[in-house]
Amino acid sequence: MIPLYKLEKLPRLQRLRKIAKFFLFAENRFIMSAEKKAEIFSAAELVFFTEAAELLAKDELFPREAHVEFTRAAEVFGKVLNHYSGNTPHFDADEFLRAVNSVKHLLLTAAGRDQADWDFTADGRLDAAKRRVFPGMMVFLEDIRSPFNVGAMFRTAESFGVEKIFLSPFCADPRHRRAQRTAMGCVDIVPWERHGFFNKPADDKLAVNETLAVNEILTASLPVFALETGGIPLAEFPFPERGLLIAGSEELGVSPQALAAADASLGRVSIPIYGAKASLNVSVAFGIALENWGRRLAPCKGRG
């Protein structure tokens, strides 16, 4: 940890980046600790928290809102230091973490490094045993090219009880570092595999259900439906208790082969859109559809 008086001598942007790095490491350390206690930091570190926030509050190049936030953070760190010294019995872990997080983001923004969702500090250790799963709720990601979208869709699928995710042969790899960072641990607890359900010649008469049975995914009929424009509005769609939802390419949508399989089964579900832009990001649309499907299944008992 660089002494604050030395940091004050550095050029402003360099100083902000170094302080930001300290808060970033501190936040990560606190989040990853088994017990959220002030005692995981030394008294010297807590003094640095407080004095750094006070120094930043005096930086006239920050906007007024930032000055207010730095001042508030300094007060929070001061309270934590008093607690650490035994002067106060109460320690508010959430208040402390939010103060650290706010200072970190203000510094990174000022240093020209705005964070994306996959950069956020989070505990990626998830307990698969705590998942609530709707048996038979399956999804097929067809040619989703962006690792960010694949990661977001894994995170969404985990949240809404998807039992298993299938990916087409040309879908981005869920193990790509950007997909992993966006999924925040969900790639490790949601079962998935690659499968070319619909990439067969047009004259191939093998039904989707037969393909699934051959691969021991299901032995009974599995309804198939596609998330695509020109279908049944979301509120009216008959979401099945068991089924396979197809979400297609960011650029081209669901393939003709997959659409044919869906049209021969449950059809297409569409999300009404009211704006000038007639489409949604695929991961956003996927989330809206899954929330609706999960809400229909929620009265039933999901498997924990």
Q: Where are the domains of the chain?
A: 4-115, 128-297
Q: Is the pLDDT score of 148 beyond 80? A: yes
pLDDT at 125 over 70: no
**Residues contacting residue 260 through CB under 8 Å, at least 6 positions apart:** none
pLDDT of residue 118: 45
pTM over 0.85? The answer is no
Q: Note the pLDDT of residue 213.
A: 39
Residue 88 has pLDDT above 50, yes or no: yes
Question: For 191-240, what is each residue's pLDDT tens digit?
Answer: 999 887 766 544 444 444 444 433 434 334 689 999 998 899 999 999 99
CA torsion, points 8, 12, 18, 22, in degrees to nearest 10?
70
User: In this structure, are residues 231 and 263 in contact, taking their beta carbons and an 8 Å threshold?
Assistant: no
Phi-psi region of 86 (alpha: psi -120 to 50; beta: other; left: phi over 0): left
- Given this model, what pLDDT does residue 36 score? 80
Radius of gyration of the chain (CA): 25
- Beta-carbon neighbour count of residue 10 at 10 Å? 14
| pLDDT category of residue 177 using cuts at 50, 70 and 90 | confident
* More confident: 105 or 88: 105
Tokens of 189: 């607890």
Query: pLDDT band at residue 132, thresholds of 50, 70 and 90?
Result: confident
Mean pLDDT, rounded, of the chain: 84
Average pLDDT over every residue of 108-128: 64
Question: Dihedrals φ, ψ of 199, to 5°?
Answer: -95, 45
Concatenated DSSP letters for 25-55?
A: HHHHHHHHSSS--GGGS-HHHHHHHHHHHHH
pLDDT of residue 202: 44
Q: What CATH class is the domain 128-297?
A: alpha beta
Q: In the prediction, which pLDDT does 298 show?
A: 83
User: Percentage of residues in the chain with pLDDT exceeding 90?
Assistant: 45
**pLDDT for res 304:** 52
Name the token pair of 75.
């007060």
Would you say residue 289 has pLDDT above 80? yes
Over residues 87-102, the mean pLDDT reads 86
Among the ranges given (216-225, 238-247, 250-259, 262-271), the one the predictor scored with the smallest mean pLDDT:
216-225
Place of tokens 């990661």: 151
Q: By mean pLDDT, which of 64-68, 237-241, 258-262, 288-292 is the weakest?
A: 258-262
Contact status, residue 173 vs residue 259, Cβ threshold 8 Å: no
Q: How far apart are CA 29 and CA 39, in angstroms?
A: 12
**Residue 234: predicted pLDDT:** 94
Please give the pLDDT value at position 56.
94
Band of the pLDDT at 126, cuts 50, 70, 90?
low
Phi–psi pair at 124, nearest 5 degrees: -85, 5
| Strand ranges (E), the chain | 137-141, 164-167, 192-194, 224-233, 243-247, 267-270
Going by C-alpha positions, the residue among 288, 201, 289 that lies closest to residue 239 is 289
